[in-house]
């Protein structure tokens, strides 16, 4: 408990310094009436479960007490962002049951990429809901909800977004990891590097499209260190020279860093192209890498350890699955204390790790410009 109090003080100090460092100490807090998110499984709050098959137990056990469509034991970074802004957790756009879109919607789907891939969900887990499709869904969502809102009785409007909130909403992008994974699968460095400008341009086109329809505040996450994911470390015959000082695969992280370098440059260019918009580039890579490098100091076990799943003696059973091994059925359940782990299932982070990262980015200390998320509508 004492560590939580100390950490809260640190966050408050960083937040104050971030605002003061860019001369915005007296800025008013942004009034984000809604949040719209576009992404992959790192921010999917149930879209994938609605579109394909539901995330089963033990996902959701820590916070929700049941599976709720998240590839995690509890909340994701996007959930902590919504809570910080005083908003409910985002409803998935594709979820038709018990859904409210009054305060935004989540278009993220697990397995999604920025650039459409000539692959499939059944083949290798790639979603057909690439970013361009998510933007089309948003455009339709905005048009249709506006139509019904203006023609409904007040009591029927309570689950619909207010039309005036679209221009005051926060638009979040958390996507790109699966584009990098696709590049790694093809094992062609030159082809991947040649594709990166087009990948970041397609994300830029998504921002431009939203801006043309009135969006003004954008919060863009770069991608995390894919070479640090335990799934990468458990499924490869790795030589010591392939690892960096944190035990991560250098070659895979190089893909992430190149994508992030070009993404940041494109975001900076977008600021010139969209003079009325406020764009924040968020260094998720740096925040996650810092957590991985200081896992034990922050109260976690080794970063490469996986909470949910069975990974022993070259036997790999994914989280929540069963498999018959030599006549014995193995159930890949969760660990006793998920909050001790960074990795939930080898790919996704636990709620505890998501909370740690979320608290590091919402104060602006990993952002360009270094503004807390509640001030992201302002241009320094």
Task: Please give the structure tokens belonging to residue 264.
Answer: 């940041």
Q: CB count, 10 Å around CB of 275?
A: 7
Tell me how far apart the alpha carbons of residues 84 and 82 are, in angstroms, rounded to a whole number: 5
- Using DSSP, how many helices (H) and how many strands (E) does the chain show? 11, 10
3-state secondary structure of 220: strand
The answer to whether 101 touches 378, Cβ cutoff 8 Å, is: no
Write down the catalytic residue from 89, 348, 375, 378: 348
Tell me how far apart the alpha carbons of residues 32 and 243 are, in angstroms, rounded to a whole number: 42
* 219-237 exposure pattern, b = at least 16 Cβ within 10 A, e = fewer: bbbbbbbbbbbbbbbeeee
Q: Is residue 345 annotated as part of the catalytic site, yes or no?
A: yes
Write down the catalytic residue from 15, 18, 40, 41: 41
The torsion angles phi and psi of 82, rounded to 5 degrees, stand at -60, -45
* Stretch (H or E) spanning 2: helix 2-21
Q: Is residue 84 annotated as part of the catalytic site, yes or no?
A: no
Write down the catalytic residue from 91, 345, 365, 375: 345
Tell me how far apart the alpha carbons of residues 198 and 193 are, in angstroms, rounded to a whole number: 10
Q: What is the DSSP letter of 243?
A: B
Q: Supply the residues annotated as catalytic.
A: 41, 345, 348
């Amino acid at each position: 408990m004492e560590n939580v109090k100390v950490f809260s003080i640190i966050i408050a100090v960083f937040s104050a310094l971030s605002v003061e460092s860019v001369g915005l100490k007296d800025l008013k807090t942004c009034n984000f009436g809604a949040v719209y998110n576009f992404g992959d499984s790192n921010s999917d709050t149930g879209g994938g479960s609605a579109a394909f098959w539901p995330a089963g137990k033990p996902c959701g056990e820590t916070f929700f007490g049941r599976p709720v469509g998240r590839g995690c034991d509890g909340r994701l970074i996007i959930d902590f962002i919504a809570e910080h802004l005083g908003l409910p957790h985002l409803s998935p756009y594709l979820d038709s049951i018990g859904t409210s879109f009054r305060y935004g919607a989540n278009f993220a789907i697990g397995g999604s990429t920025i650039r459409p891939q000539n692959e499939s969900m059944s083949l290798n887990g790639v979603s057909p809901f690439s970013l361009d499709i998510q933007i089309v869904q948003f455009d339709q969502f905005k048009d249709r909800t506006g139509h019904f809102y203006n023609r409904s009785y007040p009591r029927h409007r309570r689950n619909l977004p207010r039309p005036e909130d679209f221009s005051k909403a926060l638009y979040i992008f958390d996507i790109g990891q699966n584009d990098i994974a696709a590049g790694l699968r093809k094992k062609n460095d030159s082809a991947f590097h040649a594709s990166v400008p087009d990948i970041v341009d397609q994300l830029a086109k998504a921002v431009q499209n939203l801006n043309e329809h009135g969006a003004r505040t954008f919060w863009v996450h770069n991608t995390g260190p894919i070479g640090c994911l335990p799934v990468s470390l458990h499924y490869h015959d790795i030589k010591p020279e392939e690892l960096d000082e944190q035990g991560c695969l250098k070659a895979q992280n190089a893909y992430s860093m190149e994508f992030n370098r070009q993404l940041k440059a494109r975001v900076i260019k977008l600021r010139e192209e969209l003079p009325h918009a406020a764009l924040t580039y968020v260094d998720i890579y740096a925040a996650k890498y810092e957590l991985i490098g200081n896992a034990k100091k922050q109260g976690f076990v080794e970063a490469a350890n996986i909470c949910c799943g069975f990974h022993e003696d070259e036997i790999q059973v994914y989280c929540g699955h069963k498999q018959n091994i030599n006549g014995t059925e193995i159930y890949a359940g969760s660990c006793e204390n998920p909050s001790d782990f960074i990795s939930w299932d080898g790919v996704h982070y636990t709620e505890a790790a998501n909370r740690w990262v979320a608290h590091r980015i919402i104060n602006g200390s990993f952002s360009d410009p270094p503004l807390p998320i509640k001030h992201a509508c302002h241009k320094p």
